[in-house]
């Protein structure tokens, strides 16, 4: 029992409610949301320290004993993801001050950002499968509104598509929960895991439900062949919203896949994990093909999201200690660096007025700080040592070779090169060369926009250089994944 | 009884799939309504349809039907109600701004040049 577990959900939720009352007072809104995000970062650090010292933290809401009430569970994986979410949320909030525009700010923009964060953090923390559905819907509802807020033509068009896809996937989630409930008769995740383990022969129906859950979370997390909605929908909203979506939304789907496939469906690995393996590899390939095909800087980064999801799920499908450590390391790195990259290309678009890479070049002469920050972010993404993308990918590939899955590991190695090419293309064509496509005489002030981006890149660099410091936390999280009994015992405490 | 309701839910979901694949946005919204009806019926069926009293406190101590799926449905209904309301408004705004109800005319070519 520990109330610290619920604080990261409660803080954004209360902030969102308070912000509703200050809709027309933009400065007050900015102060309140920035302070509450900062507070949440501190709380998340405290939570991680507590989980590290005392093991998995649980909170039975309303003092009902474990399988009967809703339990909130913070193991190391969810605590780390909560911390990353709050850091990304803080940086994006700061970035929004300068870039989102008064019209959107007056119409409850910060409220919806806070609701989105409450949904994401809740989904990371909950220990109840139906509660996970509810937090998914909180997150999705906020994301629909953030996507359509402003009401331009492209936003309306893409929101209709995004809404349709997510309504269908939510209905399938409900159906999946109904099937699972009819077999195990419980909704508490730890209790479900225990009941499934008691069904001595892993029956075929559970494999069917596992695949149904894979389809549902794959739709949220954009894995092949369910990624089709992502490139269009993420193209439409303004840059800070895009950064939030790219960093957080798909990762919630990935987290849910990790959670269900390590806690529920780990008995019939030969079937379910092989599907995951093949889908992960094809997802990586689809992502890199998209990222080299386009000359639009937003599209390039959007397809890099899909690549990263493939890499993370490849490590998960190997399901060894090394694989999980690598995946988690890469997951956290990717959330930070994708947000940073979106914020940086947002600055580029503000400076040049276009997202088309063929229309501008030579930015480095007028904007050297922006250029070198982007350069560091780009090579971190590709996984050049000692930056943050390196160690996660190293562990993922190592686990692939250890499990004799050579094809996948080699594909991930080669696609790292293509990823590097796709982001370096922006650097070479956009920053080098003749100064054209923008006003090089008059320097546009972008300090306030650059600060949150530099903050995120700095976090990522520290994360890369401080591998030794971070590693015990990551391996602690991986230990809970390979050994679900730790999770079950912490929740059900016989 | 479960078989009958399962067939009904399957029929609803089949109709929903057919409507979701049509061109008109309004038909798609009707499809999402039917889809959530099918899903909700399925939760109720999966909880078991045995005969029992209403799940209220009864003095006779009669066996009651499972209250948990009913709570789940109540939650899911409210959520899908909210999402449908938003979807309808977005479709209305989309009709005003884009001037069409045809999904085929909502193609985007950004970033493709």
CB contact under 8 A, B106 and A161: yes
The answer, yes or no, to whether residue B113 has pLDDT greater than 70, is no
Which residues, at least 6 apart from A424, have a Cβ–Cβ distance to it below 8 Å?
A378
Residues on chain A touching B35 (C-beta within 8 angstroms):
167-168, 171
Q: Which of A171, A232, A355 lies at the smallest CB-CB distance from B35?
A: A171
* Residue of higher predicted confidence among B113 and B30: B30
For range A367-372, the mean pLDDT: 92
Give me the residues paired with residue A73 across strands: A58
- The string of pLDDT tens digits covering residues A387-440 is 998 999 999 999 999 999 899 999 999 999 999 999 999 999 999 988 888 777
* CA distances for A365 relative to A371, A439, A450, angstroms: 9, 12, 17
CB contact under 8 A, B91 and A160: yes
Is residue A156 within 8 angstroms of chain B, CB to CB? yes
Tokens representing residue A268 in the block: 């019939």
* Helical residues (DSSP H) of A319-440, grouped into ranges: 321-352, 368-382, 388-402, 406-426
User: What pLDDT sits at residue A50?
Assistant: 94
Tokens representing residue A483 in the block: 């050994």
Residues on chain A touching B103 (C-beta within 8 angstroms):
160
CB contact under 8 A, B68 and A187: yes
The answer, yes or no, to whether residue A1 has pLDDT greater than 60, is no
User: What pLDDT sits at residue A437?
Assistant: 81
Tokens representing residue A160 in the block: 């209709």
A31-40, A216-225, A271-280, B97-106: range with lowest mean pLDDT: B97-106
CB contact under 8 A, A171 and B97: no
Residues on chain A touching B28 (C-beta within 8 angstroms):
164
For range A21-46, the mean pLDDT: 94
User: What pLDDT sits at residue A365?
Assistant: 87
User: What pLDDT sits at residue A66?
Assistant: 83
Model confidence at A280, pLDDT cuts 50, 70, 90, reads very high
- Altogether, the residues listed in chain A come to a count of 494
Give the DSSP H/E element, type plus range, for residue A280.
helix A269-293
- Please spell the DSSP secondary structure of B3-62, one letter per residue: HHHHHHHHHHHHHHHHHHTSSBHHHHHHHHHHHHHHHHHHHHHHT-----B-SS--TT--
Model confidence at B111, pLDDT cuts 50, 70, 90, reads low
CB contact under 8 A, B39 and A161: no
Q: Reduce the DSSP state of residue A64 to 3 states and report it.
A: coil
For residue A225, whether the previous peptide bond is cis, meaning omega lies within 30 degrees of 0, is yes
User: What pLDDT sits at residue B52?
Assistant: 80
For range B81-94, the mean pLDDT: 95
Is residue A292 within 8 angstroms of chain B, CB to CB? no
User: What pLDDT sits at residue B110?
Assistant: 65
Q: Which of A134, A187, A298 lies at the smallest CB-CB distance from B111?
A: A298
* Helical residues (DSSP H) of A55-152, grouped into ranges: 76-99, 102-106, 109-125, 129-148
CB contact under 8 A, B93 and A137: no
User: What pLDDT sits at residue B100?
Assistant: 87
* Residue in chain B lying closest to A177 (CA): B43
Is A26 buried (19+), middle (13-18) or exposed (0-12) by CB count in 10 A? middle
Closest CA to A422 of A287, A284, A306, A300: A300
Q: Are A184 and A197 in contact (CB under 8 A)?
A: no
- The string of pLDDT tens digits covering residues A179-192 is 999 999 999 999 99
- The string of pLDDT tens digits covering residues B30-85 is 999 999 999 999 999 988 888 788 888 877 778 888 889 999 999 999 999 999 99
Where is mean pLDDT largest: A354-358, B4-8, B102-106?
Answer: B4-8
% of chain A with per-residue pLDDT over 90: 81
């Amino acid at each position: 029992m520990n109330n610290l577990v619920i604080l990261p959900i409660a803080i954004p939720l209360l902030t969102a409610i308070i912000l509703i009352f200050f809709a027309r007072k933009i400065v007050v809104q900015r102060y309140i949301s920035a302070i509450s995000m900062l507070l949440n970062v501190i709380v998340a650090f405290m939570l991680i320290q507590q989980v590290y010292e005392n093991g998995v933290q649980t909170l039975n809401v309303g003092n009902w004993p474990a399988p009967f009430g809703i339990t909130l569970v913070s193991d190391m994986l969810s605590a780390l993801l909560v911390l990353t979410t709050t850091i990304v949320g803080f940086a994006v909030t700061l970035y929004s001050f300068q870039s989102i525009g008064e019209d959107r700010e007056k119409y409850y923009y910060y409220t919806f950002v806070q609701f989105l964060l409450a949904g994401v953090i809740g989904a990371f923390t909950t220990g109840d499968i139906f509660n996970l559905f509810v937090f998914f819907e909180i997150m999705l509802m906020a994301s629909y509104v953030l996507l359509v807020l402003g009401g331009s033509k492209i936003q309306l068009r893409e929101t209709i598509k995004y809404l349709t896809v997510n309504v269908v996937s939510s209905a399938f989630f409900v159906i999946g929960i109904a099937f699972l409930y009819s077999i195990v008769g419980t909704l508490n995740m730890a209790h479900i895991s225990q009941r499934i383990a008691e069904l001595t022969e892993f029956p075929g129906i559970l494999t069917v439900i596992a695949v149904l859950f894979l389809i549902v979370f794959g739709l949220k997390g954009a894995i092949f062949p369910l990624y089709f909605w992502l490139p269009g929908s993420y193209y439409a909203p303004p840059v800070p919203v895009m950064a939030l979506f790219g960093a957080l939304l798909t990762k919630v789907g990935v987290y849910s896949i990790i959670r269900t496939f390590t806690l529920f469906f780990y008995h019939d690995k030969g079937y379910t994990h092989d599907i995951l393996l093949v889908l992960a590899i094809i997802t990586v390939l689809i992502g890199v093909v998209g990222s080299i095909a386009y000359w639009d800087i937003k599209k390039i980064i959007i397809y890099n999201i899909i690549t990263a999801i493939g890499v993370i799920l490849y490590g998960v499908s190997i399901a060894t200690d090394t694989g999980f450590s690598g995946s988690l390391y890469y997951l956290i790195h990717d959330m930070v660096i994708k947000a940073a990259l979106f914020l940086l290309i947002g600055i580029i678009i503000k400076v040049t007025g276009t997202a088309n890479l063929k229309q501008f070049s030579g930015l480095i002469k007028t904007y050297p700080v922006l250029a070198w920050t982007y350069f560091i972010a780009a090579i971190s993404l590709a996984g050049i040592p000692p930056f943050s993308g390196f160690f996660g990918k190293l562990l993922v590939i190592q686990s692939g070779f250890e499990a004799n899955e050579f094809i996948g590991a080699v594909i991930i190695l080669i696609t790292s090169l293509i990823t590097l090419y796709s982001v370096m293309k922006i650097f070479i064509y956009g920053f080098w060369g003749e100064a054209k496509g923008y006003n090089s005489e008059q320097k546009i002030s972008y300090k306030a926009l650059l600060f949150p981006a530099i903050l995120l890149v700095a976090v990522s660099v520290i994360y890369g250089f401080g591998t030794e410091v971070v590693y015990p936390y990551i391996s602690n999280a991986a230990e809970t994944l390979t050994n679900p009994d730790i999770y079950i015992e912490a929740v059900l405490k016989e | 009884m479960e078989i009958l309701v399962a067939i009904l839910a399957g029929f609803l979901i089949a109709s929903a799939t057919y409507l979701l694949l049509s061109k008109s946005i309004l038909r798609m919204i009707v499809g999402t309504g039917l889809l959530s009806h099918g899903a909700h019926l399925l939760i109720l069926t999966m909880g078991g349809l045995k005969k029992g009293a209403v799940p209220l406190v009864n003095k006779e101590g009669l066996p009651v039907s499972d209250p948990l799926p009913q709570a789940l449905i109540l939650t899911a209904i409210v959520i899908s109600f909210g999402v449908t309301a938003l979807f309808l408004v977005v479709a209305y705004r989309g009709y005003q701004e884009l001037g069409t109800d045809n999904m085929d005319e909502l193609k985007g070519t950004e970033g493709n040049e």
